[in-house]
Amino acid sequence: MTHKIRPLLLALFIAPLLSSTVRAVGPGIDYLNPTTLTGTIYADASLKQELFTFRRTATASGSAIHVVREFNLPNGKLAAREHVEYEGGQLKSFTLEELQTGAKGSAVVESGKMNFDYTQGAAKKTGSEKFFSEILVSDMVGPYIAAHWDALTAGETVKCRLVSVSRAETVGFKFFKESDGTWRGQPVVIVTLQPSSFIIAKFVDPLHFIIEKAGAHRVLQYSGRTTPSILKNGKWQDLDAVTVFDWK
């Protein structure tokens, strides 16, 4: 597959217009913590086959925050890496390195615009669009859910736009509460993320986030498309998997 579909960097065919009901991502959202977070990516909900490990490391320098997100194979080899830069609580840049396939891309905010660049082999894509504070990359999803917790648990739909580096654009998505439940003995809320357009939703499976009901409303587990590729039948393919985070 030439263009990859990412869990929050999804390659879609139609980008719906930004809704006036989108809620702002305020500068008060904490993108520094946790400074270290690990997790495991499994093949399915049985959690028996480990495919990758995940590690997030964040550092601060003044008002700037730098985040590195690494995805490693079970043997420790780096499969993919993401870099995210925040300034004053707002997204400034995102870069993706797909070490397995050699593809790489970036989304950089400059002068009120988000500029895209993506390279895979000899193919290259670029793009530019107006930047909104509601534009998210994968690292921002957990804090975004927590920031809109009251609205989500009240039954409201919360909209955003997600960066798709491989298509050099952003795409409209929406969060909504799916149900209440229990996960490993604790009360949780299941939040679903799916395309805003019903047409796109026919082609893209929703993602499901298991969020702790009390406390900081951290993402404990999510199911859906994830960053690393998987090799099947001699070809690199998109991966739908289950990620479980190790909160300390």
Would you state the pLDDT for residue 225? 87
Instruction: Tell me the pLDDT tens digit for each residue of 51-76.
Output: 999 999 999 999 999 999 999 999 99
Higher pLDDT, 38 or 239: 38
| 228 lies in some domain | yes
Q: How far is CA 229 from CA 41, 52, 79, 80, 203, in A?
A: 12, 10, 8, 8, 19
Indicate if the pLDDT at residue 18 is higher than 60.
no
| 109 lies in some domain | yes
| 154 lies in some domain | yes
| 1 lies in some domain | no
| 19 lies in some domain | no
Q: Write down the mean pLDDT value for the chain.
A: 88
Contacts (Cβ under 8 Å, ≥6 apart) of 245: 37, 38, 39, 54, 218, 219, 220, 221
End-to-end CA distance of the chain: 37
| 24 lies in some domain | no
How many Cα atoms are found within 13 Å in the side-chain-facing hemisphere of 205? 14
* Residue in this structure with the two tokens 């093949």, named with its chain if needed: 43
Find the mean pLDDT for residues 147-161.
Answer: 96
Contacts (Cβ under 8 Å, ≥6 apart) of 210: 181, 183, 188, 189, 190, 219, 220, 221, 222
Instruction: Tell me the pLDDT tens digit for each residue of 171-192.
Output: 899 999 999 999 999 999 999 9
Find the mean pLDDT for residues 10-39.
Answer: 58
| 26 lies in some domain | no
Domain count, the chain: 1
Higher pLDDT, 110 or 7: 110
12 close to 200: Cβ distance less than 8 angstroms: yes
Would you state the pLDDT for residue 200? 73
Would you state the pLDDT for residue 10? 38
**Domain carrying residue 101:** 36-246
| 31 lies in some domain | no
Would you state the pLDDT for residue 14? 28
- Cross-strand bridge partners of residue 13: none
148 close to 124: Cβ distance less than 8 angstroms: no
Would you state the pLDDT for residue 199? 80
pTM of the model: 0.86
Instruction: Tell me the pLDDT tens digit for each residue of 75-105.
Output: 999 999 999 999 999 999 999 999 999 999 9
